[in-house]
């Protein structure tokens, strides 16, 4: 606004006039300063509240019990201790200065966590590598040490293939400096590798069976004396054998290409394979057993000699997928909805290793807002009633070029007085997505709820990639994908747009100066020198006397939704109420607010 100071703006019919003065600038600056002070005050109050209540946010402890106690006494003690824990957290929730995560409130789920921690020699926290500190529960590690100081804990950073090698090294340095054991891992890549192995083995077995059949036919042909039908069948089988072997070789090549991390295992940024993960878990569990010595709880039965590894973590971090990849079969249900696993189970991995899988649960911790929990995948997306707050976070984090590249669409252009490279607003993003995908509701209005859920699911799955880095890190965040350039900081899709000849204005104005280009276009149009297509010729009046074809959902008023004013609305409809194509939507400068 400072650049437009002391200038008059008059409408075409001179009915209204606006003048930007220094007073307007001062008022805007004062509003911005007051808003910044309010945000700083709210942040300071939240930090004070979190510091006061930090000791209250803990994992509920199981009361001490002995084998001489009855089941009723143990149950009563557990319920009494759990109720006291809930009352302490309820007092924290009453403080309006801070907000808690929707922590697990079911005693049965916490009982399963207690049993997993008590039985396990090593407790593994499965966390999302894109934001590992959010999913890590430090108090759980302290609780495991309280059970037995010899027990071991470690972090398993799943979805590590989404991170760049530089970012993985930065996190490795962060955890090493604090003495935290960790491993980088990708359950999806490991499971795809297992499937490729199974397909290759099946193709090789088919080739062997066909080869045996061909040999038997050739022997039969040597004994037969009437015709050569058997020889023809043998030749046909020989061709099938060669095709099966080629398929086996092709799957072997696919398997080799899936080895996404060919670095040395000593590299801190190395992503462990399934075999390496099993070996490390077995080794650390045996070390924990030796450390505990006689203090380890003695077990009875056939599984007494086995070491136990417990898997715990937040919902939707890939814990069930990790278990399936380790076991090499589908033992646990997998779903994009958080909280699919309901009961803890034990799985045998060979003669010496036992895996204890705990249901996913949300630990009590401080959170900025509910919208952040949705973006982190803690709250199910399909149960949302308002998608705008989470979409606002995504629009702030993901650059404009990345969104346009991932979805192959154009976002509405910013208004002339705005930064031409600013991120889109939530409503701009949703309406552009609706226009590109054709999502509408009654009256041809954009279905923003459906579009918001689709974008949120893409963000949680990693299609719209955003990674958190340790403090002080400056470098690429996301890993590059096949056929894409190295990511400049926002992961997959964050590609710098290349300048083309069409991006350069005819008068030598560069495309990145959008404000100058728009002013030049307006001047050329005023002078009648614009090279753009002129106004479409109006049809004769008698042409409109004929009634239009009746169709379902047709808007009766032919001029409904037509908008030819400067600035546009960001989401326009045609003369009969239908949506304009997405490429036309992108040419309209945005005047959309999120109010």
Q: CA torsion sign, 454 to 456 to 460 to 465? A: positive
Tell me the C-alpha distance between 40 and 23, whole Å: 26
CATH superfamily, domain at 104-186+269-357: P-loop containing nucleotide triphosphate hydrolases (3.40.50.300)
- Closest by CA to 97, choosing from 139, 50, 129, is 50
Q: Which residues of 219-251 are buried (b: 16+ CB within 10 A; e: fewer)?
A: eebeeeeeeeebeebbeebeebbeebbebbeeb
Contact by Cβ (8 Å): 185, 158: yes
Contact by Cβ (8 Å): 187, 158: yes
Residues contacting 321, CB < 8 A, separation 6+: 158, 187, 188, 191, 334
User: What's the pLDDT tens digit per position in 523-561?
Assistant: 666 655 555 555 555 555 555 555 555 655 555 554 444
Domain ranges of the chain: 2-52, 104-186+269-357, 190-257, 370-528+549-585
- Closest by CA to 317, choosing from 450, 125, 175, 467, is 125
Q: What is the pLDDT of residue 493?
A: 37
Q: CA torsion sign, 320 to 321 to 326 to 332? A: positive
Contact by Cβ (8 Å): 19, 7: yes
Instruction: Please state, as a whole number, how many other Cβ atoms lie within 10 Å of the Cβ of residue 581.
Output: 12
Tell me the C-alpha distance between 437 and 424, whole Å: 18
Q: Is 184 helix (H, G, I), strand (E, B) or coil?
A: strand
Looking only at the bridges linking them, the beta strands covering 307-313 and 345-349 are: unpaired
- Closest by CA to 595, choosing from 411, 390, 387, 388, is 388
Q: pTM higher than 0.85 for the full model?
A: no
Contact by Cβ (8 Å): 409, 432: yes
DSSP run (H or E) holding 402: helix 400-407
Tell me the C-alpha distance between 535 and 513, whole Å: 26
C-alpha dihedral over 486, 129, 372, 324, to 10 degrees? 120
| Burial environment of residue 30 by CB neighbours within 10 A (0 to 12, 13 to 18, 19 or more) | exposed
Tell me the mean pLDDT per 10 residues along the chain, length 595: 52 48 63 78 78 82 88 92 90 80 87 91 92 91 92 92 91 92 89 77 74 71 55 69 69 57 71 88 90 82 80 87 78 49 73 86 83 87 88 92 90 85 90 89 86 93 90 80 38 36 40 59 62 54 54 52 42 53 58 49
DSSP codes of every residue in 326-342: HHTS--S---SSS----
Tell me the C-alpha distance between 131 and 425, whole Å: 24
Contact by Cβ (8 Å): 473, 168: no
| Burial environment of residue 341 by CB neighbours within 10 A (0 to 12, 13 to 18, 19 or more) | buried
DSSP codes of every residue in 462-511: TSS------TT--S--BPP-TT-PPPSSS-TT--PPPP-GGGS-TTS--T
- Closest by CA to 424, choosing from 571, 562, 577, 563, is 571
Tell me the C-alpha distance between 529 and 539, whole Å: 25
Q: What is the pLDDT of residue 514?
A: 58
Q: What is the pLDDT of residue 253?
A: 65
Contact by Cβ (8 Å): 98, 49: yes
Tell me the C-alpha distance between 127 and 184, whole Å: 10
Contact by Cβ (8 Å): 49, 95: yes
Q: What is the pLDDT of residue 416?
A: 82
User: What's the pLDDT tens digit per position in 417-432?
Assistant: 888 888 999 999 999 9
Q: What is the pLDDT of residue 306?
A: 85
Q: What is the pLDDT of residue 79?
A: 93
- Closest by CA to 460, choosing from 273, 316, 314, 279, is 316
Sheet strands side by side (includes 122-128): 271-272, 182-185, 152-158, 122-128, 307-313, 353-357, 345-349
Contact by Cβ (8 Å): 396, 349: no
Instruction: Please state, as a whole number, how many other Cβ atoms lie within 10 Å of the Cβ of residue 516.
Output: 13
Residues contacting 376, CB < 8 A, separation 6+: 128, 131, 134, 135, 460
Tell me the C-alpha distance between 497 and 495, whole Å: 6
Tell me the C-alpha distance between 367 and 522, whole Å: 48
């Amino acid at each position: 606004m400072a650049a437009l100071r002391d200038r008059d703006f008059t409408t075409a019919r001179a009915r209204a006039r606006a003048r930007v003065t220094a007073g307007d600038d001062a008022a805007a600056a004062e509003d911005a300063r007051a808003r910044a002070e309010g945000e700083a005050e709210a942040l300071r109050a939240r930090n004070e509240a979190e510091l006061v209540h930090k000791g209250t946010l803990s994992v509920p402890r199981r009361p001490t019990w002995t084998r001489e106690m009855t089941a009723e006494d143990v149950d009563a003690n557990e319920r009494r201790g759990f109720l006291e824990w809930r009352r302490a957290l309820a007092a924290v929730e009453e403080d309006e200065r801070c907000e808690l995560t929707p922590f697990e409130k079911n005693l049965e789920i916490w009982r399963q966590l207690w049993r997993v921690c008590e039985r396990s020699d090593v407790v593994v926290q499965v966390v999302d590598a894109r934001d590992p500190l959010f999913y890590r529960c430090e108090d759980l590690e302290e609780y495991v040490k309280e059970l037995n100081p010899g027990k071991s804990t470690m972090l398993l950073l799943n979805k590590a293939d989404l991170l760049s090698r530089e970012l993985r090294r930065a996190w490795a340095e962060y955890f090493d400096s604090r003495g935290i054991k960790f491993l980088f891992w990708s359950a999806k890549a490991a499971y795809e590798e297992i499937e490729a192995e199974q397909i290759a083995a099946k193709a090789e077995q088919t080739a062997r069976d066909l080869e045996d059949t061909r040999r038997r036919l050739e022997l039969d042909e040597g004994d037969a004396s009437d015709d050569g039908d058997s020889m023809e069948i043998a030749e046909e089988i020989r061709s099938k054998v060669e095709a099966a072997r080629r398929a086996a070789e092709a799957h072997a090549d696919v398997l080799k290409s899936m080895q996404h991390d060919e670095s040395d295992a000593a590299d801190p940024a190395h992503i462990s394979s399934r075999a390496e993960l099993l070996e490390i878990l077995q080794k650390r569990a045996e070390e924990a057993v030796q450390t505990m010595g006689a203090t380890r709880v003695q077990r009875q039965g056939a599984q007494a000699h086995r070491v136990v590894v417990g898997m715990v973590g937040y919902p939707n971090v890939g814990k069930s997928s990790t278990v399936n990849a380790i076991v090499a079969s589908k033992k646990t249900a997998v779903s994009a909805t958080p909280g699919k696993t309901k009961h803890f189970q034990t799985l045998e991995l060979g003669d010496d290793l036992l895996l204890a899988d705990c249901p996913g649960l949300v630990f009590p911790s401080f959170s900025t807002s509910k919208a952040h929990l949705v973006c982190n995948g803690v709250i199910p997306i399909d149960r949302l009633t308002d998608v705008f707050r989470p979409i606002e976070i995504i629009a702030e984090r993901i650059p404009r070029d990345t969104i346009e590249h991932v979805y192959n669409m154009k976002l509405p252009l910013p208004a002339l007085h705005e930064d031409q490279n600013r991120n889109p607003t939530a409503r701009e993003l949703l309406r552009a997505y609706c226009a590109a995908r054709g999502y509408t509701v009654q009256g041809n209005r954009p279905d923003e709820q459906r579009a918001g859920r689709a974008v949120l699911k893409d963000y949680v799955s990693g299609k719209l990639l955003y990674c958190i880095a340790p403090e002080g890190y400056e470098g690429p965040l996301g890993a590059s994908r096949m056929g894409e350039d190295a990511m400049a900081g926002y992961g997959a899709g964050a590609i710098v747009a290349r300048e083309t000849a069409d991006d350069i204005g005819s008068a030598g104005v560069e495309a990145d100066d959008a404000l100058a280009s728009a002013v030049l276009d307006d001047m050329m149009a005023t002078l009648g020198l614009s090279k753009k297509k002129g106004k479409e010729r109006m049809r004769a009046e008698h042409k409109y006397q004929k009634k239009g074809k009746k169709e379902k959902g047709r808007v009766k008023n032919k001029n409904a939704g037509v908008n030819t004013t400067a600035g546009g609305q960001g989401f326009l409809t045609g003369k009969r109420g239908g949506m304009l194509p997405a490429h036309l939507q992108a040419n309209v400068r945005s005047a959309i607010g999120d109010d």
